[in-house]
Structure 1
Amino acid sequence: MTSQSVIIFISNALDAYYSSHSFGTVAKDPPFEPQSGGAPPEMWNSQPDTDGWVEWKMLPSTVSERDLEQLEAEFEVKLPAILASYFRARFHLFDQVAIGDLVLILPSVPSDSPFRPIRANFLAWRQLMAACFLPFGSFQDGWGPLCFDLKEGSADDAPICWFDHEHLAPLSKAELGDRATLEPLKQPLFGSFRELLSRLRSTV
């Protein structure tokens, strides 16, 4: 499912972006429940300030192939290998990342609950999966779901597109799972997730 060379490529891209920016987020409060938001203590790079914010640090991921298999079984989906490798590369708390004029919300990978953010994406737009669009993030500041177009890709990677939520909102559940209905609404962004990450790295 994953390869070490791809994991290294992703780690290097995330490391480069992290090294050129300063990142803070809300610190997780005791009792530090995995399913609650905020940075877990092991990812703190500073002590919380008076407003409860901390600078966070990246950590090597400990996500296993078995963990990924369980996620796939839960949602009855096969992740592109590069997305699986993304979860095995780094624990991070990126919220928005900028690529030129584009702002993307990629799934963060918190150390205490690595799949919590991606599960939220899957659950919010689960119907799209039936049409071979895998939702994994958001375009701009929540304009709509960022997706892998699985039908146009391979087991390794796939083109990245997005949908305007205003175009999706009027659709029925059946229409949200219908490829023919969604095809005219998709808006291509990148030829692959690798291209997205390469562009991210080149912005530093």
Structure 2
Amino acid sequence: MQELKQDQTLIVSTLEAYFDTPHRDILMSLPAKTDEEDYGVPHNMQVGEVDEEGWVRWEMIPSTVTEDQVRRLEQLHDLPLPVPPLYFAYLTTRHVLNVYLRYDHFMVGLPDLPSDNPLRSLHTLWETWEPLIAQGYIPFATYEDDAGPVCWDTHNPSEDGDYAVVWFDHEALVGQPSWTRAQLAPLAQPLFPSFRTMLTSLLP
């Protein structure tokens, strides 16, 4: 429990640092939700009035995602191993939108966690890339503008339950109905030794 609290504190610090920018108003403005199925800002995350173009400011709020919900989603998609503890903290700490982490030469987009359906984007990501999961690569984010999935390589887990981070170019995967680990390994482009390193490298 203490480790989870520490991880949740790190997640809050990372998100606050990400949104602490002169572009905050842009990052924290998105189309408002207009019906149950769309991906707009849920009402309880909205701040102020919806403008004439249908956009609204939003704010992070405490997450309502439970451990049972995360574990059920892992089981639904037959994950070979659980998500890293720090990613679990990301899923269960804040409802948040529009998180695109910027590094020197690339950007990684984490799944949106809206308050009305927080795990929908992650469910879609895992559903889309089930053949990768079957070979030990678990998608958890996207590279650049949906250029391909960012994944954990679960074949060499660390002692703390984390994994090396790689990404696959979507174009390299097109046209293959199924893959073997031997076919995928040369296409896995390394990014970070772990998810924790990926996040902490952004902090001052």
2:92 corresponds in structure 1 to: 88
Q: Of residues 151, 154, 158 in structure 1, which corresponds to 2:155?
A: 151
How many residues are aligned here?
A: 196
**What are the residue-to-residue correspondences of 1:22-33 with 2, within 5 Å?**
22=24, 23=27, 24-30=29-35, 33=36
Kindly state the Cα deviation for residue 116 of structure 1 after the two structures are TM-superposed. Answer: 0.6
Kindly state the Cα deviation for residue 95 of structure 1 after the two structures are TM-superposed. Answer: 4.5
CA contact (8 A) 2:137 2:154 kept: yes
With over 3 angstroms needed to count, the CA separation of the structure-2 counterparts of 1:181 and 1:125, relative to structure 1, is same
SS class of match (1:29) = coil
**What are the residue-to-residue correspondences of 1:14-93 with 2, within 5 Å?**
14-20=15-21, 21-22=23-24, 23=27, 24-30=29-35, 33=36, 35-77=37-79, 78-93=82-97
Q: What TM-score, normalized by structure 1, do the two folds share?
A: 0.89
CA contact (8 A) 2:84 2:195 kept: no
1:169 corresponds in structure 2 to: 174
For 1:43 and 1:152, the matched residues in 2 are separated by 38
Which structure 2 segments of 5+ residues have no match? none
The residue type paired with residue 66 of structure 2 is S
Describe the superposition over 1:119-177 as per-residue Cα deviations: whole angstroms up to 9, x where unpaired. 1111111110011100122111111111111112236211111001111113232x1xx
The residue type paired with residue 64 of structure 1 is T
For 2:59 and 2:104, the matched residues in 1 are separated by 24
RMSD: 1.7
Kindly state the Cα deviation for residue 65 of structure 1 after the two structures are TM-superposed. Answer: 1.3
CA contact (8 A) 1:17 1:201 kept: no
Which structure 1 segments of 5+ residues have no match? none
Identity %: 35
The residue type paired with residue 4 of structure 2 is S
For 2:105 and 2:48, the matched residues in 1 are separated by 31
- Higher RCO, 1 vs 2 (CA within 8 Å, ≥6 residues apart): 1
CA contact (8 A) 2:142 2:150 kept: yes
